[in-house]
Amino acid sequence: MIRIAHVHESVLTIPDRILYDHELVLVLRGVASISMGSETRLAEPGTMLLIPPFTPHAFQSPGGARSAHIAVHFDFCPETPQPLDAPDGRDPYEIVWPGGLKPAPIVSLAPGHWIEQTLREIVDSHAEEDDPLSVLEASSRMARVLAQMLRWGARPEAGDAYGVVSHVNHERMGRVLAHIAGSLASPLTLDELAQVAGIGRSRFVTLFREATGVSPQHYIQQRRIAEARRLLADPGLQIKQIAAMTGFEDRFYFSKVFRRVDGLTPTQFRAAVLFGRSLASEDESQA
Protein backbone atom coordinates (compact mmCIF):
# COMPACT_ATOMS: atom_id res chain seq x y z
CA MET A 1 0.00 0.00 0.00
CA ILE A 2 1.22 3.48 -0.89
CA ARG A 3 0.95 5.73 2.19
CA ILE A 4 2.62 8.91 0.90
CA ALA A 5 3.92 9.84 -2.56
CA HIS A 6 5.14 13.30 -3.44
CA VAL A 7 7.72 15.40 -5.25
CA HIS A 8 9.38 17.77 -2.79
CA GLU A 9 11.66 20.72 -3.54
CA SER A 10 13.13 22.87 -0.78
CA VAL A 11 16.13 23.39 1.44
CA LEU A 12 16.07 20.05 3.26
CA THR A 13 16.16 20.21 7.05
CA ILE A 14 14.54 16.97 8.22
CA PRO A 15 15.93 16.00 11.63
CA ASP A 16 16.51 12.43 12.74
CA ARG A 17 13.25 10.51 12.50
CA ILE A 18 11.81 6.99 12.52
CA LEU A 19 8.99 5.91 10.22
CA TYR A 20 6.66 2.93 10.43
CA ASP A 21 6.82 2.20 6.71
CA HIS A 22 9.34 1.78 3.91
CA GLU A 23 10.55 4.94 2.22
CA LEU A 24 11.96 5.07 -1.31
CA VAL A 25 13.77 8.33 -2.11
CA LEU A 26 15.07 9.44 -5.51
CA VAL A 27 17.12 12.65 -5.68
CA LEU A 28 16.14 14.70 -8.75
CA ARG A 29 18.14 17.91 -8.42
CA GLY A 30 20.77 19.32 -6.13
CA VAL A 31 22.64 17.36 -3.49
CA ALA A 32 21.21 15.91 -0.28
CA SER A 33 23.07 14.73 2.79
CA ILE A 34 21.32 11.58 4.00
CA SER A 35 22.11 9.98 7.35
CA MET A 36 21.02 6.42 8.14
CA GLY A 37 22.06 5.11 11.50
CA SER A 38 25.78 5.84 11.83
CA GLU A 39 26.34 6.40 8.09
CA THR A 40 26.06 9.70 6.21
CA ARG A 41 26.36 10.02 2.44
CA LEU A 42 25.96 12.75 -0.15
CA ALA A 43 23.27 11.80 -2.65
CA GLU A 44 23.55 13.37 -6.09
CA PRO A 45 20.82 13.46 -8.77
CA GLY A 46 19.93 9.90 -9.73
CA THR A 47 20.70 8.43 -6.31
CA MET A 48 17.85 6.25 -5.06
CA LEU A 49 17.69 4.82 -1.53
CA LEU A 50 15.38 2.32 0.08
CA ILE A 51 15.01 3.08 3.81
CA PRO A 52 13.56 0.21 5.87
CA PRO A 53 10.94 0.80 8.59
CA PHE A 54 12.12 1.88 12.05
CA THR A 55 15.50 3.00 10.68
CA PRO A 56 16.64 6.36 12.10
CA HIS A 57 17.44 8.74 9.25
CA ALA A 58 17.76 12.45 8.50
CA PHE A 59 18.04 14.71 5.44
CA GLN A 60 19.99 17.95 5.09
CA SER A 61 20.85 20.27 2.19
CA PRO A 62 24.61 21.01 2.31
CA GLY A 63 25.27 24.73 2.38
CA GLY A 64 21.58 25.54 2.53
CA ALA A 65 21.11 24.86 -1.20
CA ARG A 66 17.75 23.74 -2.58
CA SER A 67 17.27 20.18 -3.76
CA ALA A 68 14.38 18.15 -5.15
CA HIS A 69 13.43 14.53 -4.61
CA ILE A 70 10.62 12.03 -5.02
CA ALA A 71 9.57 10.15 -1.88
CA VAL A 72 7.24 7.16 -1.79
CA HIS A 73 6.23 5.66 1.57
CA PHE A 74 4.75 2.17 1.38
CA ASP A 75 4.20 -1.03 3.35
CA PHE A 76 2.61 -4.42 2.88
CA CYS A 77 -0.25 -4.02 5.33
CA PRO A 78 -3.74 -3.43 3.86
CA GLU A 79 -4.72 -1.31 6.87
CA THR A 80 -3.01 1.75 8.29
CA PRO A 81 -0.47 0.54 10.91
CA GLN A 82 -1.26 1.47 14.48
CA PRO A 83 1.27 3.65 16.33
CA LEU A 84 3.60 1.76 18.65
CA ASP A 85 4.99 2.82 22.00
CA ALA A 86 8.67 3.82 22.03
CA PRO A 87 9.52 2.99 18.39
CA ASP A 88 13.07 4.24 19.02
CA GLY A 89 13.76 1.13 21.02
CA ARG A 90 12.59 -1.30 18.36
CA ASP A 91 15.00 -2.82 15.84
CA PRO A 92 14.05 -2.51 12.15
CA TYR A 93 12.07 -5.55 11.11
CA GLU A 94 13.06 -7.45 8.00
CA ILE A 95 10.78 -8.37 5.12
CA VAL A 96 11.23 -11.91 3.79
CA TRP A 97 11.36 -11.34 0.04
CA PRO A 98 10.63 -14.05 -2.57
CA GLY A 99 13.40 -16.59 -3.01
CA GLY A 100 15.46 -15.12 -0.18
CA LEU A 101 16.29 -12.08 -2.32
CA LYS A 102 17.03 -8.65 -0.90
CA PRO A 103 16.53 -5.35 -2.73
CA ALA A 104 19.50 -3.13 -3.45
CA PRO A 105 19.54 -0.51 -0.65
CA ILE A 106 21.03 2.20 -2.88
CA VAL A 107 21.48 2.57 -6.62
CA SER A 108 22.49 5.35 -8.99
CA LEU A 109 20.06 5.68 -11.88
CA ALA A 110 21.22 6.83 -15.29
CA PRO A 111 19.55 9.94 -16.75
CA GLY A 112 16.21 9.08 -18.35
CA HIS A 113 15.78 5.87 -16.35
CA TRP A 114 12.26 4.41 -16.54
CA ILE A 115 12.06 4.26 -12.73
CA GLU A 116 11.98 8.05 -12.43
CA GLN A 117 8.98 8.25 -14.75
CA THR A 118 7.30 5.36 -12.91
CA LEU A 119 7.73 7.10 -9.55
CA ARG A 120 6.23 10.28 -11.01
CA GLU A 121 3.26 8.21 -12.21
CA ILE A 122 2.91 6.77 -8.70
CA VAL A 123 2.77 10.32 -7.32
CA ASP A 124 0.06 11.22 -9.84
CA SER A 125 -1.98 8.09 -9.12
CA HIS A 126 -1.68 8.55 -5.37
CA ALA A 127 -3.08 12.07 -5.70
CA GLU A 128 -6.34 10.35 -6.67
CA GLU A 129 -6.33 7.97 -3.71
CA ASP A 130 -10.14 8.04 -3.48
CA ASP A 131 -10.24 6.21 -6.81
CA PRO A 132 -9.73 2.42 -6.28
CA LEU A 133 -8.27 2.02 -9.78
CA SER A 134 -5.67 4.73 -9.11
CA VAL A 135 -4.71 2.98 -5.86
CA LEU A 136 -4.31 -0.29 -7.78
CA GLU A 137 -2.23 1.40 -10.50
CA ALA A 138 0.08 2.99 -7.92
CA SER A 139 0.60 -0.33 -6.13
CA SER A 140 1.30 -2.22 -9.36
CA ARG A 141 3.87 0.37 -10.44
CA MET A 142 5.53 0.17 -7.04
CA ALA A 143 5.71 -3.62 -7.38
CA ARG A 144 7.54 -3.21 -10.68
CA VAL A 145 10.09 -0.85 -9.10
CA LEU A 146 10.65 -3.24 -6.20
CA ALA A 147 11.09 -6.16 -8.60
CA GLN A 148 13.87 -4.24 -10.34
CA MET A 149 15.55 -3.46 -7.03
CA LEU A 150 15.42 -7.14 -6.16
CA ARG A 151 17.15 -7.91 -9.47
CA TRP A 152 19.86 -5.41 -8.66
CA GLY A 153 20.20 -6.87 -5.19
CA ALA A 154 20.63 -10.35 -6.66
CA ARG A 155 23.09 -9.21 -9.34
CA PRO A 156 24.99 -6.13 -8.12
CA GLU A 157 27.28 -6.40 -11.15
CA ALA A 158 24.38 -5.85 -13.57
CA GLY A 159 24.69 -2.24 -14.58
CA ASP A 160 23.24 0.12 -11.98
CA ALA A 161 25.01 -1.55 -9.09
CA TYR A 162 26.42 -0.02 -5.96
CA GLY A 163 29.45 2.12 -5.29
CA VAL A 164 32.08 2.70 -7.95
CA VAL A 165 30.45 0.42 -10.52
CA SER A 166 27.19 2.35 -10.20
CA HIS A 167 28.99 5.65 -10.69
CA VAL A 168 30.88 4.38 -13.75
CA ASN A 169 27.76 3.13 -15.49
CA HIS A 170 25.87 6.29 -14.56
CA GLU A 171 28.59 8.30 -16.32
CA ARG A 172 28.57 5.97 -19.31
CA MET A 173 24.85 6.25 -19.87
CA GLY A 174 24.97 9.99 -19.30
CA ARG A 175 27.51 10.33 -22.13
CA VAL A 176 25.45 8.11 -24.42
CA LEU A 177 22.16 9.93 -23.82
CA ALA A 178 23.84 13.30 -24.34
CA HIS A 179 25.34 12.01 -27.60
CA ILE A 180 21.94 10.78 -28.78
CA ALA A 181 20.29 14.10 -27.93
CA GLY A 182 22.88 15.99 -29.96
CA SER A 183 22.96 13.61 -32.94
CA LEU A 184 19.32 12.86 -33.76
CA ALA A 185 19.86 13.75 -37.43
CA SER A 186 22.62 11.12 -37.71
CA PRO A 187 22.16 7.35 -38.23
CA LEU A 188 23.30 6.52 -34.63
CA THR A 189 24.47 2.92 -34.89
CA LEU A 190 24.89 0.53 -31.96
CA ASP A 191 28.62 0.35 -32.64
CA GLU A 192 28.88 4.14 -32.42
CA LEU A 193 26.97 4.30 -29.14
CA ALA A 194 28.96 1.43 -27.64
CA GLN A 195 32.14 3.32 -28.53
CA VAL A 196 30.81 6.44 -26.75
CA ALA A 197 30.11 4.27 -23.68
CA GLY A 198 33.57 2.72 -23.91
CA ILE A 199 32.35 -0.88 -23.76
CA GLY A 200 31.51 -3.74 -26.13
CA ARG A 201 28.33 -3.74 -28.21
CA SER A 202 26.51 -6.58 -26.45
CA ARG A 203 27.44 -5.26 -23.00
CA PHE A 204 26.27 -1.80 -24.03
CA VAL A 205 22.87 -3.08 -25.17
CA THR A 206 22.40 -4.89 -21.85
CA LEU A 207 23.38 -1.86 -19.74
CA PHE A 208 21.30 0.51 -21.83
CA ARG A 209 18.15 -1.57 -21.40
CA GLU A 210 18.77 -1.87 -17.66
CA ALA A 211 19.33 1.91 -17.40
CA THR A 212 16.36 3.10 -19.48
CA GLY A 213 13.99 0.12 -19.60
CA VAL A 214 14.02 0.03 -23.43
CA SER A 215 16.40 -0.95 -26.23
CA PRO A 216 18.71 1.69 -27.73
CA GLN A 217 16.74 1.63 -31.00
CA HIS A 218 13.43 2.18 -29.21
CA TYR A 219 14.86 5.00 -27.11
CA ILE A 220 16.29 6.76 -30.17
CA GLN A 221 12.93 6.51 -31.93
CA GLN A 222 11.19 7.97 -28.87
CA ARG A 223 13.60 10.92 -28.81
CA ARG A 224 13.26 11.49 -32.55
CA ILE A 225 9.47 11.57 -32.39
CA ALA A 226 9.58 13.87 -29.33
CA GLU A 227 11.88 16.26 -31.21
CA ALA A 228 9.65 16.05 -34.29
CA ARG A 229 6.63 17.08 -32.20
CA ARG A 230 8.54 20.14 -31.03
CA LEU A 231 9.61 21.08 -34.56
CA LEU A 232 6.13 20.56 -36.01
CA ALA A 233 4.92 23.45 -33.88
CA ASP A 234 7.01 25.73 -36.13
CA PRO A 235 4.92 26.38 -39.29
CA GLY A 236 8.03 27.67 -41.06
CA LEU A 237 9.56 24.20 -41.30
CA GLN A 238 8.53 21.78 -44.04
CA ILE A 239 7.74 18.15 -43.18
CA LYS A 240 10.69 16.90 -45.24
CA GLN A 241 13.00 19.27 -43.34
CA ILE A 242 11.77 17.95 -40.01
CA ALA A 243 12.23 14.36 -41.24
CA ALA A 244 15.87 15.10 -42.07
CA MET A 245 16.47 17.00 -38.82
CA THR A 246 15.24 14.02 -36.77
CA GLY A 247 17.16 11.30 -38.61
CA PHE A 248 14.49 9.81 -40.88
CA GLU A 249 15.62 8.84 -44.36
CA ASP A 250 12.60 10.37 -46.10
CA ARG A 251 9.30 12.10 -45.27
CA PHE A 252 7.22 9.03 -46.12
CA TYR A 253 9.00 6.76 -43.65
CA PHE A 254 8.89 9.59 -41.10
CA SER A 255 5.12 9.92 -41.56
CA LYS A 256 4.67 6.15 -41.21
CA VAL A 257 6.61 5.98 -37.93
CA PHE A 258 5.03 9.15 -36.55
CA ARG A 259 1.53 7.86 -37.22
CA ARG A 260 2.33 4.50 -35.65
CA VAL A 261 3.52 6.22 -32.47
CA ASP A 262 1.05 9.13 -32.18
CA GLY A 263 -1.95 7.93 -34.19
CA LEU A 264 -1.74 11.05 -36.39
CA THR A 265 0.30 11.96 -39.44
CA PRO A 266 2.79 14.81 -38.95
CA THR A 267 0.50 17.07 -41.01
CA GLN A 268 -2.50 16.22 -38.81
CA PHE A 269 -0.45 16.73 -35.64
CA ARG A 270 0.76 20.13 -36.84
CA ALA A 271 -2.79 21.18 -37.73
CA ALA A 272 -4.00 20.20 -34.25
CA VAL A 273 -1.18 22.12 -32.56
CA LEU A 274 -1.72 25.26 -34.62
CA PHE A 275 -5.48 25.08 -34.14
CA GLY A 276 -5.05 24.83 -30.37
CA ARG A 277 -2.63 27.76 -30.46
CA SER A 278 -5.16 29.89 -32.39
CA LEU A 279 -7.89 29.09 -29.86
CA ALA A 280 -5.60 30.09 -27.01
CA SER A 281 -4.84 33.40 -28.76
CA GLU A 282 -8.55 34.10 -29.20
CA ASP A 283 -9.20 33.43 -25.52
CA GLU A 284 -6.40 35.81 -24.53
CA SER A 285 -7.69 38.55 -26.82
CA GLN A 286 -11.19 38.23 -25.37
CA ALA A 287 -10.00 38.23 -21.77
In a domain, 86, yes or no: no
Ranking 29-33, 86-90, 112-116, 221-225 by mean pLDDT, the lowest is 86-90
Q: Are residues 54 and 115 in the same domain?
A: yes
pTM of the model: 0.56
pLDDT digit string, tens, across residues 190-244: 999 999 999 999 999 988 887 676 789 988 998 899 899 989 989 999 999 999 9
Q: Is 285 helix (H, G, I), strand (E, B) or coil?
A: helix
Q: Are residues 27 and 135 in the same domain?
A: yes
In a domain, 110, yes or no: yes
Q: Are residues 66 and 111 in the same domain?
A: yes
In a domain, 187, yes or no: yes
In a domain, 90, yes or no: no
Q: Are residues 44 and 135 in the same domain?
A: yes
DSSP state of 128: T
Residue-range definition of the domain harbouring residue 199: 158-213
Res. 113: pLDDT tops 60: yes
Q: Are residues 133 and 184 in the same domain?
A: no
Q: Sorting pLDDT into bands at 50, 70 and 90, what band is 128?
A: confident
Q: Are residues 31 and 73 in the same domain?
A: yes
Res. 160: pLDDT tops 50: no
Q: Are residues 204 and 147 in the same domain?
A: no
Distance CA 90, CA 92 (A): 6
Residue 27 belongs to a domain with what CATH number? 2.60.120.280
- Residue 20: which of 106, 104, 90 has the closest Cα? 90
In a domain, 121, yes or no: yes
Q: Are residues 150 and 195 in the same domain?
A: no
Mean pLDDT confidence for 78-87: 55
Distance CA 43, CA 28 (A): 10
Residue 242 in contact with residue 255, Cβ under 8 Å?
no
CB atoms within 10 A of CB 47: 22
Mean pLDDT confidence for 7-31: 85
In a domain, 285, yes or no: no
Query: Of 107, 139, 154, which closes a domain?
Result: 154
Q: Are residues 255 and 231 in the same domain?
A: yes
Phi, psi of 40, deg, nearest 5: -130, 135
What is the total count of domains within the chain? 3
Q: Are residues 116 and 245 in the same domain?
A: no
Q: Are residues 178 and 268 in the same domain?
A: no
